[in-house]
């Protein structure tokens, strides 16, 4: 969805660099386009709240916004959306937003995206990128004091803005609703996958999944991160990304009773496909319609809905306030990697072993002999939570003896013996 630019962390010692991890900037952002869609009139807020509906410092998350070029009315609408999100998520670290009011393409309302981190101390899954504000919340410290967590841009040359606080008249766009949408992307409602020249990619330069991508599936339930089915850089992945894609997670399952459809039209739309909910299912002027790829003229959404809150929870956020109430408490999960034989043991031909875990984990997998030498390397990959991955072992290429499938990456290394006979 976006071209990614690697930035070297500005740190002075190797130990600090290791704790901070790698940092990435989303430069091709999710974009809200100007459309001819007109929402029916609805009852909307009469006024912006004078303050957040919680104490963000103790019950939510403190946002620090640097406004560049915003007129007073636009700043008030932006701040009202910030105040809403400040009481829907929890973080011990401030969330810094750089908000710029500038001339954009005539067809663009606004865009936003996060900086991202991976392999930092406290990261839930190795080799997975987490939105900067989320990474700070998970690790309990500010990983990037010299940069914002979220960058947001809004079109100063667009004449049909409605700054509020009342409902927008016909033909105008509600800035509060647009900002509420864009901030969700900055918090992590955004995936790494993209299509270029009919090839599907799991991010670019240097690539790798975002925490959002851990939850995307085909309509049949196959994870898009299953590199056996959908190799990175393949036509098969591109085909899947331009078909029926669903978002599945513990929180989404809890509020919806199953996965939810994403916006994945048959022709990839840069800045729109994949990182939004389905426009056909989630309609204008509804809380979950907030995160579809189009905001209609006159559309007003005052709160993120059940599904939006659940997606934010599944990408990793601790919830607060109304979002916490909508989603409820989630069941505990077991992070252990489970190995299951699906074929014979002993074997002289071929056998299959299935790996699974209730939570996403980056695993390093190989077949080792009794001396600990790796004789087959299955590589390192992300095992998606709640979805199994099968490995096929060709015993005809091995000498007779005892081997072990070695899986490292869960709470403890896991070994499963395999006996080869000829």
| Residue found under tokens 């490995």 | 391
Give the pLDDT confidence score for residue 43 in this predicted structure. 60
Q: Are residues 195 and 251 in the same domain?
A: yes
**Candidate from 12-16, 272-276, 366-370 with smallest mean pLDDT:** 12-16
- Do residues 371 and 416 lie in contact, with contact meaning Cβ atoms separated by under 8 Å? no
Highest-confidence segment of 126-135, 198-207, 409-418: 126-135
Give the pLDDT confidence score for residue 21 in this predicted structure. 76
Q: For residues 214 and 208, what is the distance between their CA atoms, to the nearest angstrom?
A: 11
Pairing of strands 95-102, 150-155: parallel
pLDDT, one tens digit per residue, over 140-179 is: 999 988 899 999 999 999 999 999 888 888 899 999 999 9
Please, which residues bridge with residue 245 across strands? Answer: 218
Q: Which helix (H) or strand (E) holds 134?
A: helix 132-139
Q: Are residues 36 and 182 in the same domain?
A: yes
Question: Looking at the predicted structure, is the pLDDT value of residue 16 above 60?
Answer: no
Question: Looking at the predicted structure, is the pLDDT value of residue 31 above 80?
Answer: no
Q: Render 18-60 in DSSP notation, one character per residue.
A: HHH-EEEEE-S-EEEEP-S-BPPP----SS--SS-SS-HHHHS
Question: Looking at the predicted structure, is the pLDDT value of residue 32 above 90?
Answer: no
Helices (H), 233-343: 235-241, 250-256, 306-314, 321-327
- Do residues 225 and 213 lie in contact, with contact meaning Cβ atoms separated by under 8 Å? yes
Q: Are residues 167 and 49 in the same domain?
A: yes
| Residue found under tokens 């199953």 | 258
Residue 333 lies in a domain: no
DSSP code of residue 345: S
Give the pLDDT confidence score for residue 6 in this predicted structure. 26
Provide the pLDDT confidence category of residue 99 given band limits of 50, 70 and 90.
very high
Residue partners of 189: CB distance under 8 A and separation at least 6: 212, 275, 291, 308, 311, 312, 315
Closest residue by Cα to residue 75 from 169, 171, 204, 175: 175
Closest residue by Cα to residue 26 from 115, 107, 105, 96: 115
Q: Are residues 317 and 353 in the same domain?
A: no
At 403, which CATH number?
Answer: 2.60.40.2950
- Do residues 249 and 215 lie in contact, with contact meaning Cβ atoms separated by under 8 Å? yes
Q: Which two tokens stand for residue 374?
A: 């790796």
Q: Are residues 279 and 365 in the same domain?
A: no
Q: Are residues 225 and 347 in the same domain?
A: no
Q: Are residues 255 and 314 in the same domain?
A: yes
Residue 218 lies in a domain: yes
Question: Looking at the predicted structure, is the pLDDT value of residue 80 above 50?
Answer: yes
Q: Are residues 321 and 346 in the same domain?
A: no
Closest residue by Cα to residue 30 from 148, 149, 151: 151
Residue 269 lies in a domain: yes
pLDDT, one tens digit per residue, over 352-403 is: 999 999 888 889 999 999 999 999 999 988 888 888 899 999 999 999 999 9
Give the pLDDT confidence score for residue 8 in this predicted structure. 23
Question: Looking at the predicted structure, is the pLDDT value of residue 24 above 70?
Answer: yes
Q: For residues 326 and 287, what is the distance between their CA atoms, to the nearest angstrom?
A: 12
Number of domain units in the chain:
2
DSSP code of residue 92: S
Give the pLDDT confidence score for residue 44 in this predicted structure. 57
Q: Are residues 298 and 354 in the same domain?
A: no
The CA–CA distances, whole Å, from 181 to 38, 201, 240, 258, 321 equal 18, 25, 26, 23, 18
Q: For residues 172 and 38, what is the distance between their CA atoms, to the nearest angstrom?
A: 9
Domain boundary among the residues 273, 294, 327 is at 327
Q: For residues 274 and 251, what is the distance between their CA atoms, to the nearest angstrom?
A: 19
Domain boundary among the residues 270, 301, 327 is at 327
- Do residues 117 and 20 lie in contact, with contact meaning Cβ atoms separated by under 8 Å? yes
Give the pLDDT confidence score for residue 47 in this predicted structure. 61
Q: For residues 256 and 262, what is the distance between their CA atoms, to the nearest angstrom?
A: 14
Residue 332 lies in a domain: no
Q: Quick one: CA torsion of 57, 59, 62, 63, rounded to 10 degrees? A: -160
Let me know if 221 is exposed, middle or buried by CB neighbors in 10 A (0-12, 13-18, 19+).
exposed
Give the pLDDT confidence score for residue 76 in this predicted structure. 95
Give the pLDDT confidence score for residue 11 in this predicted structure. 23
Residue 20 lies in a domain: yes
Q: For residues 94 and 137, what is the distance between their CA atoms, to the nearest angstrom?
A: 9
Mean pLDDT of 226-233: 91
Strands (E), 85-224: 95-102, 108-118, 130-131, 150-155, 161-162, 173-174, 193-196, 199-202, 216-218
Q: Are residues 306 and 261 in the same domain?
A: yes
Q: What is the chain's mean pLDDT, rounded?
A: 89
Query: In terms of residue numbers, what domain contains 294?
Result: 4-327
**At how many degrees (to 10) do helices 306-314 and 175-187 cross?**
30
Q: Are residues 298 and 373 in the same domain?
A: no
Domain boundary among the residues 308, 327, 346 is at 327
Give the pLDDT confidence score for residue 3 in this predicted structure. 33
Provide the pLDDT confidence category of residue 29 given band limits of 50, 70 and 90.
low
pLDDT, one tens digit per residue, over 288-336 is: 999 999 999 999 999 999 999 999 999 999 999 999 999 999 988 888 8
Mean pLDDT of 193-216: 91
Q: Which two tokens stand for residue 29?
A: 């952002």
Residue 290 lies in a domain: yes
Q: Are residues 409 and 302 in the same domain?
A: no
- Do residues 85 and 52 lie in contact, with contact meaning Cβ atoms separated by under 8 Å? no
């Amino acid at each position: 969805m976006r071209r990614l630019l690697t930035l070297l962390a500005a740190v002075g010692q190797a130990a600090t660099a290791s704790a901070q991890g790698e940092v990435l900037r989303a430069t091709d952002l999710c974009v809200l386009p100007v459309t001819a869609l007109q929402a029916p009139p609805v009852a909307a807020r009469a006024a912006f709240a004078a303050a957040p509906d919680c104490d963000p410092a103790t019950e939510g998350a403190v946002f620090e916004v640097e406004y560049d070029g915003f007129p007073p009315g636009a700043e008030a609408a932006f701040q009202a959306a910030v105040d809403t999100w400040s009481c829907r998520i929890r973080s011990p670290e401030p969330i810094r937003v750089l908000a710029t009011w500038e001339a954009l393409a005539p067809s663009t309302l606004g865009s936003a995206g996060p900086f991202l981190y991976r392999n930092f101390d406290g990261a839930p899954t190795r080799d997975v990128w987490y939105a900067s504000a989320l990474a700070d919340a998970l690790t309990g410290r500010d990983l990037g004091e010299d940069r914002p967590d979220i960058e947001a841009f809004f079109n100063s040359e667009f004449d049909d803005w409605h700054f509020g606080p009342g409902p927008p008249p016909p033909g105008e766009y509600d800035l509060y609703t647009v900002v509420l949408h864009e901030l969700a992307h900055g918090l992590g409602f955004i995936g790494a996958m993209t299509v270029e020249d009919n090839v599907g990619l799991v991010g670019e330069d240097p690539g790798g999944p975002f925490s959002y991508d851990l939850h995307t599936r085909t309509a049949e339930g196959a994870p898009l991160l299953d590199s056996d089915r959908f190799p990175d850089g393949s036509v098969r992945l591109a085909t899947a990304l331009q078909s029926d894609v669903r978002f599945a997670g513990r929180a989404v399952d809890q509020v919806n009773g199953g996965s939810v459809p994403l916006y994945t039209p048959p022709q990839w739309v840069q800045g729109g496909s994949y990182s939004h909910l389905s426009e056909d299912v989630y309609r204008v002027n509804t809380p979950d319609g907030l995160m579809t790829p189009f905001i209609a003229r006159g559309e007003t959404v005052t709160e993120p809905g059940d599904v939006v809150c659940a997606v934010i929870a599944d990408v990793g956020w601790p919830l607060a306030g109304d979002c916490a109430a909508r989603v409820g408490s989630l069941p505990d999960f077991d992070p252990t990697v489970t190995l299951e034989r699906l074929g014979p043991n002993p074997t002289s031909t071929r056998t299959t072993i299935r790996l699974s875990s209730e939570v996403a984990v980056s695993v390093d997998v190989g077949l080792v002999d009794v001396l600990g030498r790796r004789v087959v390397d299955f590589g390192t990959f992300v095992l998606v939570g709640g979805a199994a991955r099968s490995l096929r072992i060709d015993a005809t290429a091995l000498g007779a003896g005892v081997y072990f499938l070695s899986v490292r990456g869960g709470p403890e290394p896991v070994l499963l013996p395999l006996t080869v006979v000829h």
